[in-house]
């Protein structure tokens, strides 16, 4: 186990794929992952996740800044001297070797004795449920089994740091879910500081202690899953975390009876601005308002709630998703109530005002 520290790390590829010579793939990235923590690096394609992981692994030069594993600055250390375990999305198992020999491969390269290798494999194989597969060749394994072997190979060396790059992305939905739970259990058992790169927010939310959310090479927010969900620092994080995503729309601040209201353009929907925003808003100001689908409610028919039309109704079994039209925008709401609507029906909409999020219309930063 070891702490991982990134201090002001930059990466510029000489031959950037975008053709922009001066563009940085990673910019000014600082992160601190404590001993034994499970950290997710999350963001859309091309935001610099894999580059970050590869710099930590020593597979990519660092243009500027420092990377520490424990107290050791590892910028110029060879990957094999960093005490890391790596598992990438493609399993890269050696086809002629059986599972046992695949897992043993790196230990043999390090001249570990066969007795020691056997002991280690017998400890690791049951953890990853590959103990029945040790004689099998990679060809005969399913995707999920190959990834288990791949991870077994990464942890058999007892690394200080386990680095996982999209380990579940090749797997189908069900297998992803199973292996996700198993990776979580595995982490609890081996307690190795672990970094996982993923573009799947659900994966990051369910697996990790903290998530680093990146966009265009820059860290947007680093916090626990709950922190980034409840208090996104900007509109990007707000829209990226949560499924279905947070509803985000432009609204106008209007004044009525001495108080402020959010006015939804093109509709007669207005909701009260929570008091906590009063110091930051003024009449006529346009803001970006965020509301999670579960914070939109269907109000009683006789209530004073605003009338909106149902655009799409989906019954997903455990929950119902309803898309309603508000002016030019469509908002999604989720309910577990046993209701049924059809397109064009009118419902009364209530917004949990205290659960709203407010962002600056120009910078996208949280207000």
Residues engaged in binding ligand ATP (CB under 6 A): 13, 15-18, 25, 43, 45-51, 199
**Nearer Cβ to ligand ATP, position 15 or 257?**
15
Please answer whether residues 161 and 84 qualify as being in contact, where contact means their C-beta atoms are separated by less than 8 angstroms. Answer: yes
**Nearer Cβ to ligand ATP, position 52 or 194?**
52
Those residues whose C-beta lies under 8 Å from the C-beta of residue 326, and which sit 6 or more positions away, are: 249, 264, 266, 267, 269, 308, 349
Report the distance separating Cα 181 and Cα 162, nearest Å: 17
Task: Report angle CA 220, 225, 229 to the nearest 5 degrees.
Answer: 70
Min dist CB 120 to ligand ATP, Å, is 31
Those residues whose C-beta lies under 8 Å from the C-beta of residue 360, and which sit 6 or more positions away, are: 287, 288, 366, 367
Those residues whose C-beta lies under 8 Å from the C-beta of residue 260, and which sit 6 or more positions away, are: 253, 254, 272, 273, 277, 278, 281, 283
Min dist CB 57 to ligand ATP, Å, is 12
Min dist CB 55 to ligand ATP, Å, is 9
Min dist CB 180 to ligand ATP, Å, is 18
**Nearer Cβ to ligand ATP, position 13 or 277?**
13
**Nearer Cβ to ligand ATP, position 27 or 288?**
27
Report the distance separating Cα 33 and Cα 194, nearest Å: 9
Please report, for residues 246, 354, 357, the alpha-carbon distance to residue 291 in angstroms, rounded to integers and kept in the order given: 6, 10, 6
**Nearer Cβ to ligand ATP, position 51 or 201?**
51
Min dist CB 30 to ligand ATP, Å, is 17
Min dist CB 138 to ligand ATP, Å, is 23
Q: In what order do the strands lie in the sheet with 346-351?
A: 296-299, 346-351, 306-315, 320-326, 329-335
Please answer whether residues 182 and 151 qualify as being in contact, where contact means their C-beta atoms are separated by less than 8 angstroms. Answer: no
**Nearer Cβ to ligand ATP, position 116 or 243?**
243
Min dist CB 318 to ligand ATP, Å, is 30
Min dist CB 251 to ligand ATP, Å, is 32
Task: Mark out the alpha helices in 32-111 (DSSP H runs).
Answer: 49-57, 99-109
**Nearer Cβ to ligand ATP, position 16 or 275?**
16
- Which pair of structure tokens corresponds to residue 239? 């829209």
**Nearer Cβ to ligand ATP, position 47 or 149?**
47
Please answer whether residues 144 and 138 qualify as being in contact, where contact means their C-beta atoms are separated by less than 8 angstroms. Answer: no
Please report, for residues 154, 163, 229, 252, 287, the alpha-carbon distance to residue 365 in angstroms, rounded to integers and kept in the order given: 39, 31, 15, 17, 11
């Amino acid at each position: 186990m070891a702490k991982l520290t990134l201090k002001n790390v930059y990466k510029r590829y000489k031959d950037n794929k975008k053709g922009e010579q001066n563009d940085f793939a990673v910019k000014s990235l600082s992160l601190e992952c404590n001993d034994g923590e499970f950290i997710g690096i999350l963001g859309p394609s091309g935001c610099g996740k894999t580059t970050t992981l590869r710099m930590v692994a020593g597979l990519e030069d660092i243009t500027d800044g420092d990377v520490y594993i424990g107290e050791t600055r590892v910028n110029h250390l060879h990957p094999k001297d960093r005490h890391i375990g790596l598992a990438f999305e493609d399993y890269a198992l050696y086809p002629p070797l059986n599972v046992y020999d695949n897992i043993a491969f790196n230990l043999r390269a390090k001249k570990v004795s066969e007795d020691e290798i056997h002991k280690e494999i017998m400890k690791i194989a049951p953890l990853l449920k590959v103990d029945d597969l040790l004689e099998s060749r990679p060809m005969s394994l399913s995707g999920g089994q190959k990834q288990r072997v791949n991870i077994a190979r990464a942890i058999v060396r007892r690394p200080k740091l386990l680095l996982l790059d999209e380990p579940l992305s090749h797997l189908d939905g069900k297998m992803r879910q199973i292996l996700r739970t198993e990776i979580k259990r595995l982490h609890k058992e081996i307690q190795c500081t672990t970094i996982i790169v993923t573009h799947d927010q659900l994966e990051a939310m369910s697996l990790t202690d903290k998530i680093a959310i990146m966009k265009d090479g820059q860290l947007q927010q680093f916090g626990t899953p709950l922190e980034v969900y409840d208090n996104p620092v900007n509109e990007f994080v707000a829209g990226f975390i949560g499924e279905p995503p947070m509803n985000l729309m432009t609204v106008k601040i209007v004044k009525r009876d001495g108080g402020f209201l959010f006015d939804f353009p093109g509709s007669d929907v207005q909701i009260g601005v929570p008091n906590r925003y009063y110091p930051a808003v003024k009449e006529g100001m346009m803001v970006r308002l965020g509301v999670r689908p579960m914070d939109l409610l269907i109000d009683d028919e006789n209530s004073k709630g605003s009338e909106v039309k149902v655009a799409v109704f989906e019954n997903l079994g455990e929950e119902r998703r309803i898309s309603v039209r508000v002016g030019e925008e469509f908002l999604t709401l989720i309910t577990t109530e046993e209701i049924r609507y059809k397109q064009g029906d009118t419902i009364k909409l209530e917004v949990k005002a205290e659960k709203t999020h407010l962002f600056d219309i120009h910078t996208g930063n949280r207000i």
